[in-house]
Amino acid sequence: SQTIHQWPATLVQPVGSPLSLECTVEGTSNPNLYWYRQAAGRGLQLLFYSVGIGQISSEVPQNLSASRPQDRQFILSSKKLLLSDSGFYLCAWVSVSGPSYEQYFGPGTRLTVT
Amino acid sequence: GQQLNQSPQSMFIQEGEDVSMNCTSSSIFNTWLWYKQDPGEGPVLLIALYKAGELTSNGRLTAQFGITRKDSFLNISASIPSDVGIYFCAGQINNQGGKLIFGQGTELSVKP
């Protein structure tokens, strides 16, 4: 069965510090991967998605970047965090081997920028 | 761009009552998905709908893919306290990397 992991679960970082959030998927190959941010318990904003290694599409201009160094690894980064980067970050994956595009989410990372 | 209007934004109901929420859009979608999110956790997929007019159940949950492909509803029958959470609809337009458009969520509170 497939599983998705996110690390760390919670993070408190000062303004101006760097960021690295990791997402890994097990039990599937060549998934589409997605990073979302959720502010204050409401709507999900798509930040980045990737259809393969090294292929990143950015949905909104922002202080963040994403990379996909391996097939099942997706990383969200920042060189200098802003207060507005606080939020709940969710990673999701989709298997593109079948007819459907059901997205499955990881447990999330709660980021607080102080 | 595409938008989903999800309503109601919040609901306060008594245990045992039935619940209905819906999503509408000006765009046509090929897939509708419904998720539930508990506090501090990632959304969990409840039901996926692939064909216009399709009616699908998952236990006490029933969802339908609108005939026009621009709307969907989710019903919960005989609500229980563990139904508390935020419910999201999501629509998908194929050939766009599997991207989803999410509604703003319906926050459900169930009073025992």
pLDDT digit string, tens, across residues B42-85: 999 999 999 999 999 999 999 999 999 999 999 999 999 999 99
Which pLDDT tens digit goes with each residue over A3-62? 999 999 999 999 999 999 999 999 988 899 999 999 876 789 999 999 999 999 998 877
Nearest CA in chain B to A4: B42
The identity of residue A110, as a single letter, is R
- The whole-number pLDDT of residue A99 equals 61
Which 3 state secondary structure label does DSSP give B41? coil
CB contact under 8 A, B44 and A51: no
**pLDDT of the residue at A97:** 63
Query: What does the pLDDT read at residue A101?
Result: 75
B35: distance to nearest CA of chain A, Å?
Answer: 10
Counted across chains A and B, CB pairs separated by less than 8 A come out at 58
Instruction: Report the pLDDT value the prediction gives residue A102, as an integer from 0 to 100.
Output: 86
Q: Which residues on chain A place their C-beta less than 8 Å from a C-beta of chain B?
A: 32, 34, 41-44, 46, 49, 51, 57, 88, 90, 92, 94, 96, 99-108, 110
The share of chain B scoring above pLDDT 90, in percent, equals 82
Are B97 and A90 an interchain contact pair (Cβ–Cβ within 8 Å)?
no
Residue in B33, B86, B97 nearest the CB of A102: B33
Q: With bands split at pLDDT 50, 70 and 90, how would you rate the model's confidence at B8?
A: very high
**Other beta carbons less than 10 A from residue A114's beta carbon:** 10
Residue B68 CA to its chain's centroid (Å): 17
List, for residues A65-96, the tens digit of each pLDDT value. 999 999 999 999 999 999 999 999 999 998 76
Contact status, residue B103 vs residue B27, Cβ threshold 8 Å: no
Instruction: Tell which residue, A83, A84, A91, A85, has the closest CA to residue A109.
Output: A91
Q: Note whether A99 contacts B50, CB cutoff 8 Å.
A: yes
What pLDDT was estimated at residue A4? 96
